[in-house]
Structures are given as structure tokens and as C-alpha cells.
Amino acid sequence: MLLAIDAGNTNVVFALLDGREIRARWRIATDPRRTADEYAVWLNQLLILEGYAIADVDAVIIATVVPRALHNLQVLADKYFKTSALIAGQAPVEWGIELDVAEPSSVGADRVVNAIAAHHLYEGDLIVIDFGTATTFDVVDYTGAYKGGIIAPGINLSLDALVAAAAKLPKIAIAPPESKSVIGRTTEAQMHIGVFWGYVAMMEGLVARMRAEIGRPARVVSTGGLAVLFNDNSDIFDAIAPDLTIQGLALLHERSLKTE
């Protein structure tokens, strides 16, 4: 079985796959200081709870945007899973798609993996929105080429910055306002409106501008934990793919086997 690891700025997601089928997934807060031994103890218990064992894993693939976290994850694969981890974007796991941007080496691994998975799953031109620490908007054309995109502050990051900078503002949860009105009558209501509907307006505006620039119909695919929340309050999403990054890693693993 394959252990796919997506190391992001906020969380590291581990997924156990049998072929392309996800059998289990877990997440843990990203901490570059976390050792391979700590990962192994945590993962071993979770595998047992799902009815699996460390010995069931015979391949590991990693995509990371946190370079300092990579070494310990590689040690985890070597020491406990007895296999050398494949690293997305590094030989023999080349991207296999064109990165048609000014600085291809600076594109985050998660964004390229999302582009690969989205092109595999959906036809035509695509806009992929990923809700993470940052919210990214990525354009993938009908040939599968990555054409660039947008990086915006994630909604939690925006909210944390607002609360930290304004002493009298309370902490609030990320949730749709109780009323559809955009004129709040309390401080908390005004914050909900600003954060939630402001974010919806930002997404809808950027998608409209991106579609106009692409000049062809473009399907919007969303992924990340908040995709469902916004889908209930906006009609810009054509598809929700919560496991897009993991699916992309599974595809890259398959391709690496074919090139061996």
C-alpha cells in the first residue's frame, strides 16, 4: 500500500491508499522539529486503529511546501517503512506537465500536484481553488499545462490578523452569518459579514476576472477544508474534490512505477 504525505504550512496530511482508493487519512500540525520517531509512534497507533500495520506500507510519496519538514519524513520512510520516499517533483517523480510560468521552480508542490489531479479528473480549462493557510487560485489549461494563478491570505489567517491587530475585537468562528444582511448591527455580526461575505466576494470577483482573461469556459474545482462551507453560499464552484492533493500524489506514484 502507498502512504501519501502532503506537508503543508499548517498541517501534514497522511493518507493510506490501495491503488487510488483512500483507505484512511490523518492529519497532524506541521512542526519541522517533529522527529521520525515521533511520527512513527503516532502513525503506528492510527494504523492499528484502522486495522493496518506499518508492514502494510511498501511505498511512500511526499509533497511538501515546508523544506525543513522533509528530512524527518524521509527518515520516517527509511527507518520504519523500509523504503526510500519518492519526492514529488524530483527524479524519478517528475511533474510530467508544463509549468508555463516565469519561475517554475518556485511553484509550490501542492499546487502542481493539484493541477495534475484536476486535469486527470476534469476536462477543459480549469481554475483550482485550494483553501489552506493561503487560498490559492491556479489555472490549468485544456492541455494540462499549469499557467499560473493567485495567492491570497487564507480566511483563518485574515481573521487572526484582524483580531491580533484590533484589541477590542473578539475571536469569532469561521461560519456564515446568521442573516443574509450585509449591514451588521453588532460588532460580532459586522466581523462575520466582513470576513465571510468579504471572502466570498473576493473569490467571485477573482474567478470572474480569471475566466475573462482565459477567454474560454473554465470549470472551477475547489479543494481544502472550507470548500464545502463556501459552496453552500456561492455558485462559483463546479466541483468539490476534497482529496485532490492526495489523488495527485497517487497519480504521480503510478507514473513513477511505469518509468522504472
pLDDT tens track for 19-32? 999 999 999 999 99
Length of the chain counted residue by residue:
260
Instruction: Look at 60-69, 140-149, 169-178, 236-245 and tell me which has the smallest mean pLDDT.
Output: 169-178
The neighbouring-strand residues paired with 87 are 62
Identify residue 136 by its one-letter amino acid code: T
- How far apart CA 196 and CA 187 sit, in angstroms, is 14
What's the rounded Cα separation, in Å, for the pair 240 and 249? 18
Mean pLDDT of 102-124: 95
pLDDT score of 137 more than 70: yes
Q: Output the pLDDT for position 128.
A: 98
Following DSSP, what letter does each residue of 74-124 receive, concatenated?
HHHHHHHS-SPPEETTSTTS---S-B-SS-GGGS-HHHHHHHHHHHHHS-S
Residue 46 has pLDDT above 90, yes or no: yes
Angle between helices 109-121 and 244-259 (to 10 degrees): 90
Query: Does the pLDDT of residue 158 top 80, yes or no?
Result: yes
pLDDT greater at residue 108 or residue 228: 108
**Weakest mean pLDDT among 41-50, 56-65, 117-126, 151-160:** 151-160
Tell me the pLDDT tens digit for each residue of 196-247: 899 999 999 999 999 999 999 999 999 987 888 888 888 999 999 999 999 9
Q: In the predicted model, is pLDDT for residue 154 greater than 80?
A: yes
Instruction: Please tell me the predicted confidence (pLDDT) of residue 260.
Output: 60
| Dmax (CA) of the chain | 63
> Is pTM, for the whole model, over 0.75?
yes
Q: Rounded CA gap, 178 and 172, in Å? A: 13
CA distance 46 to 188: 39
Point out the catalytic residue in the list 6, 110, 125, 141.
110
Identify the residue with better confidence: 134 or 174.
134
What DSSP state is assigned to residue 9? S
Confidence class of residue 80 from pLDDT cuts 50, 70 and 90? very high
- Alpha-carbon separation of residue 99 from 108, 155, 252, 257 (angstroms): 11, 27, 16, 22
% of the chain with per-residue pLDDT over 90: 70
Q: Which residues contact 44 (CB under 8 A, 6 or more apart)?
A: 54, 80
Q: Which range has the worst mean pLDDT, 39-48, 107-116, 165-174, 215-224?
A: 165-174
CA 235 to chain centre: 21
pLDDT of the residue at 70: 96
Residue 175 — pLDDT band, cuts 50, 70, 90? Answer: confident
pLDDT of 179 over the 80 cut? no
Instruction: Identify the pLDDT of residue 109.
Output: 94
Q: Read off the C-alpha cell for 34.
A: 517533529
Query: Does the annotation mark 110 as catalytic?
Result: yes
